[in-house]
Every structure is written in structure tokens, then in C-alpha cells.
Amino acid sequence: MILRMISVSTALVLLASLSQGQPALPGAISRPEAAPASEGGNPPPEESKRILGIIPNYRTSPSLQNYQPLTTREKIKLASQDAFDRGTIVMAGLFAGQSQLTNANRSFGQGAAGYGRYFGTAFADFAIGDYMTEAVFPTLLHQDPRYFRRGTGSGWSRLGYAMGQIFWTHRDSGGTQFNYSELIGNSTAVAISQAYYADNRTASNAAGKLGMQLGIDMAANILKEFWPDLERKFRRKHSRDSASARNSGN
């Protein structure tokens, strides 16, 4: 599933690059940098709060312009928004369905009761991961949990930037640092999950879950980077289709 998500995200990258007329050729992968100010010196518009109508997008910032660090209260609010968003509930339901189909945890059983157990644990995975990576460890380590869009450069350089944000993040005091909150936070969430996954309490399984979560977060970063470009492309197509429909009706 993770490979499919990353493949789809990469395909969207190419689509966004072509829609902007950018060269779809590998370029240098740069470290995080502040995006330029928008025209007229105004700050960039806020990002939509959901990608594809499902994936929560509360912690995306359009740029580093006029950077202000988050307070502890704001980090907790951010984690709560992601954890209890309707999109998180939908994704937990999808992951629960896939796990039940593959009988991933035999002790959960089948039927409605079994699905309820799969759903509860899938939602717990998302919620605990959100709080650990967006509130608890960012507060303890003074790191910023937000994703700052680059928004400029070739499609491939932006792809490298988005993927790199899993390993590199911003400090509350300014500057950048290894993303300890992402790695330690997700590792802690996986360790906690061992309490309710009785069938799969092995080191190899825990490592696999950690890799899966990092892969999900990486795919989400790619979508966050390119979603505004895709939205503009879809809006232009919708406008052209609407104009064509009006013209054909006259």
C-alpha cells in the first residue's frame, strides 16, 4: 500500500510539473528554504485544510515568510485537528478494512465486532502518531511540526524537498535540524501500539510498522507540496469544460 501511495504521489508531481511547464528532469535536491513572497508583498494564501477532500492538511504552511514559532498550545491544537479530522476517521476505516480482509490480526476476529477492533486500533495508530510527532516531541525538542511548502523550482527538486522534510525540519528558534520528532515520535507510537497488537509483537513487525508510517508521512508531504498546483489545474479544466458546455448549448 505504501509503495502505491508514493507512486501515486510521484505521478501527481509529474502532472503538476507539466501543468506549470516545468522541466520534468532530475535536478539538484536542495535543503529547505523560504519560499519567495507573493506579488505585492502580501503573504501567500492559506492552504486548503484537506487534500482530495480526505487527507488532513492542517499543518501545511505556504512558506517561511514572516516565520513565527508555534506555542505548546498551538502544537497540541494542531495534533488534535489532525487526529480527530473526518479524513483521519475515513482513512482509519480504509486501513481497518484492508487489515480485516488480509486477517492481519487473527485475534481480532471477523464480522462487525472484528471490524470494530481493527477500526479502533487503526484510529489509535493515527491519533497517537499525530500527538507524538506534532505535539509531544516537537514541544520537548523545540521543533516545528509544520510542513513549509517550497512552491518554486522544478518538479523533481520540489519532490526531493518534500521527501527530505521527513528527515530535516525547522527549530522553534530558527534554523534547521534533523527531524528527531518524526523519527522518535513515530517510534514511540509504534512501541505503544504493541500493547494492543497481541498477534504481532516482534521486532521485525515493529520495524515494518515504523517504515510504513514514515512512508505514509513522506507520501503526504509530496501531496502537500503539489496540491495547490493540482487544484489550479483542476479549476482551469473545470472552467474550460463549463465554457465549452455553455458554448455548445448556444
Q: Please check the confidence at residue 2 and state whether its pLDDT lies above 60.
A: no
User: Which domain range does residue 115 map to?
Assistant: 2-19+47-240
In this prediction, residue 102 carries a pLDDT of 93
Question: Alpha carbon of 223 to those of 13, 52, 159, 163: distances in Å?
Answer: 8, 9, 10, 10
Q: Is 246 within a domain?
A: no
Residue 98 lies in a domain: yes
* Domain-embedded: residue 38: no
User: What single-letter DSSP state applies at residue 31?
Assistant: P
**Residue 250, C-beta contacts closer than 8 angstroms, at least 6 positions apart:** none
Confidence of residue 1 (pLDDT cuts 50, 70, 90): very low
Condensed to tens digits (0 to 9), the pLDDT of residues 43-63 reads 555 667 888 888 888 999 888
109 membership: H or E segment, kind and range: none
Residues paired with residue 144 on neighbouring β-strands, in sequence order:
170
In this structure, are residues 96 and 119 in contact, taking their beta carbons and an 8 Å threshold? Answer: yes
122 part of a folded domain: yes
Residues of the chain with pLDDT > 70, as a percent, come to: 74
Average of pLDDT values for 100-114? 94
Residue 82 pLDDT grade (very low, low, confident, very high; cuts 50, 70, 90): very high
Per DSSP, 134 falls in state I
Residue 232, in any domain of the structure: yes
Q: What is the pTM of this model?
A: 0.78
Provide, for the chain, the percentages of residues in helix, strand and coil under a 3-state DSSP scheme, each rounded to the nearest 5.
65, 5, 30
In a domain, 245, yes or no: no
Specify whether the CB–CB gap between 228 and 158 falls below 8 A.
no
In the predicted model, what is the mean pLDDT of residues 5-33? 45
- At residue 76, what is the residue type? I
- Mean confidence (pLDDT) of the chain: 82
Q: Look at residue 34 and tell me if it is in a domain.
A: no
